Amino acid sequence: MTLLTVKNAKFLLNYGSSIFLFEMKKAAFCMFLLWLASTSVVAQEATEIVRRSDEKMRGSTSESEMIIRISRPTWTREMSVHTWMSGTHYAMILILSPAKDKGTVFLKRKKEVWNWLPTLERSIKLPPSMMTQSWMGTDFTNDDLVKESSIVEDYTHRLLNDTTVAGRLCYTIEMTPKPEAAVVWGKILVTIDKKDYLQLHSRFYDDEGVLVNTMNGYDIKVMDGRLIPTRMEMIPEEKKNQKTEIIYTRIQFNRPIADNFFTLDKMRNLK
């Protein structure tokens, strides 16, 4: 009788231990699933914030006129520019002044980028390697201006800390390129206003994690019914007293622009 009791006690002890371990493993697995779910939700939230911010400056279409001011330690130069954009696939940029650059056009059609040089009467297809090069001698890259890459589609997004810029409470989001994406930057840290989804501050890093450029948004105004930064300033990290500003003088959103506007023939004859 005593032997049976001992055996039963051992059996119950082992059984109880097994049940306890099973429950612990089940709890750990549930916690892991909850962590995965919360991580996925946070990632989706970060992507949605970036999407809304990007759409704020794009609309379904946009047409704008802007001044681009290049500042160097010993000189400054200005360009006047007219732009048309449709979604993320089409863009046209026409240089209006100075006289030596007047009539120069950049065209983006999906993943192709073309440049029309009126002085040579020649159109050039820009290879992907040129997307990292300076656009018209500015501190913006070709990719920055024609937006060959998409900050929504070509990057993964992660919410970091909150911060305040110009009295506005903002998200800080880390953007890292997807493995298959052909993009310029190794990482971007973007600061987006929580209320109006304005991009107010961005830092651009190379593949080695070195800060290359910083961009700030200023002069927040209503243009065509949208509150947007109307002056963007790009500052290179390692070049003292150097920057490029983009100042919007006019912008319209969501007016129809046919896809056949963005053609090589139109690029060559744009006035």
Is residue 2 predicted with pLDDT exceeding 80? Answer: no
* Window from 29-38, 42-51, 53-62, 152-161 with minimum mean pLDDT: 29-38
The answer to whether the pTM exceeds 0.75 is yes
Is residue 218 predicted with pLDDT exceeding 90? Answer: yes
Q: What is the pLDDT of residues 82-95, one digit of tens each?
A: 999 998 889 999 99
How far is CA 151 from each of CA 9, 41, 185, 226, 265, rounded to the nearest angstrom?
Answer: 64, 19, 11, 21, 29
Give the distance between the most distant pair of CA atoms in the chain.
Answer: 109
Query: What does the DSSP assignment read for 95-147?
Result: EEESTTTTT-EEEEETTEEEEEETTTTEEEEPPGGGGGSBSTTSSSBHHHHH-
Is residue 12 predicted with pLDDT exceeding 70? Answer: no
Structure tokens at 106: 């950049």
CATH of domain 55-81+145-253: 2.50.20.10
Give the number of other CB atoms < 10 A from CB of residue 196. 16
Q: What is the pLDDT of residue 181?
A: 83
Task: Classify the C-alpha dihedral 89-49-203-153 as positive or negative.
Answer: negative
Q: What is the pLDDT of residue 38?
A: 37
